[in-house]
């Protein structure tokens, strides 16, 4: 495995754009843009803009990193070897991240239409059907954060329909509510976890998240000494 990851790292061109999730010893997570710099694989450096690195970085935490390579993005996990000054981290790559595991690392900000629908099976007290249309705020392979016009009256077995890529891909699944938060103007921020989803539709969501990640990396311009 060490030899394979070293070969992967050796193929990454110097000075590519990258993005990393850093965790502090207090449990806070920061997503930062940086520049990949070559070293002795599987080791490498990440260079950050001035005054961007947080204090009290947890050096024992495994860090997810996405590195832009031409029009693609390589996602990997790495450990911090040392912190050099206030702009540079020396890293050791541990493994590449499979697309189906992306949900454990990256959540992308995205606004797409969503329909939440509930159809009770049989007679369940006063439960009745309802439908709410809203918009997502962010999404991963395991769930979504949404804005809805009302608070859903039921928290489980909710049918979700996501219109991805301007409606070209429609993903349907069943999920439950993780948390809700009342906003101004009577709206609600609602987080859903996906419970039941076909593998093909999960792949569609993960592919979309990967593409959004690539777009973010491509659109950002970084400079490093």
Residue ranges and CATH numbers for the domains of the chain are 2-97 (2.30.110.70), 108-212 (2.40.10.220)
Lowest mean pLDDT among 27-31, 33-37, 103-107, 165-169: 103-107
- pTM of the complete model: 0.55
- Give the containing element (helix H, strand E) for 170: strand 169-182
Kindly report the length of the chain.
225
CB 146 within 8 A of CB 132: no
Do 193 and 176 touch, CB atoms closer than 8 A?
Answer: yes
Q: How far is CA 77 from CA 11, 102, 131, in A?
A: 16, 11, 40
Q: What is the pLDDT of residues 90-99, one digit of tens each?
A: 999 998 765 5
How much helix, strand and coil, in percent to the nearest 5, is found in the chain?
15, 50, 35
Q: What are the tens digits of pLDDT across the range 35-48?
A: 999 999 999 999 99
Instruction: For residue 61, give the 3-state DSSP assignment.
Output: coil
Q: Are 158 and 118 in contact (CB under 8 A)?
A: yes
Instruction: Check: CB of residue 213 under 8 Å from CB of residue 66.
Output: yes
């Amino acid at each position: 495995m060490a030899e394979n990851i070293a070969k992967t790292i050796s193929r990454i061109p110097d000075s590519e754009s990258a993005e990393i999730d850093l965790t502090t010893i207090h449990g806070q997570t920061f997503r930062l843009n940086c520049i990949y710099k070559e070293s002795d694989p599987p080791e490498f450096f990440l260079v950050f803009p001035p005054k961007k690195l947080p204090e009290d970085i947890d050096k024992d935490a495994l860090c997810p990193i996405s590195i832009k390579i031409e029009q693609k993005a390589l996602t990997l996990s790495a450990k911090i070897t040392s912190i050099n000054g206030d702009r540079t981290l020396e890293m050791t790559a541990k493994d590449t991240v499979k697309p189906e595991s992306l949900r454990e690392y990256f959540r992308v900000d995205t606004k797409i239409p969503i329909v939440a629908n509930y159809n009770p099976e049989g007679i369940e007290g006063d439960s009745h059907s309802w439908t709410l249309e809203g918009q997502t705020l962010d999404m991963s392979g395991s769930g979504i954060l949404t804005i809805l016009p009302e608070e859903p009256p039921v928290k489980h077995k909710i049918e979700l329909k996501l219109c991805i890529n301007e409606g070209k891909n429609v993903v349907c699944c069943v999920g439950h509510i993780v948390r809700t938060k009342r906003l101004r103007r009577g709206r609600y921020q609602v987080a859903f976890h996906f419970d039941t989803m076909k593998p093909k539709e999960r792949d569609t969501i993960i592919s979309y998240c990967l593409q959004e990640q690539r777009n973010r990396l491509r659109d950002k311009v970084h400079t490093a000494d």
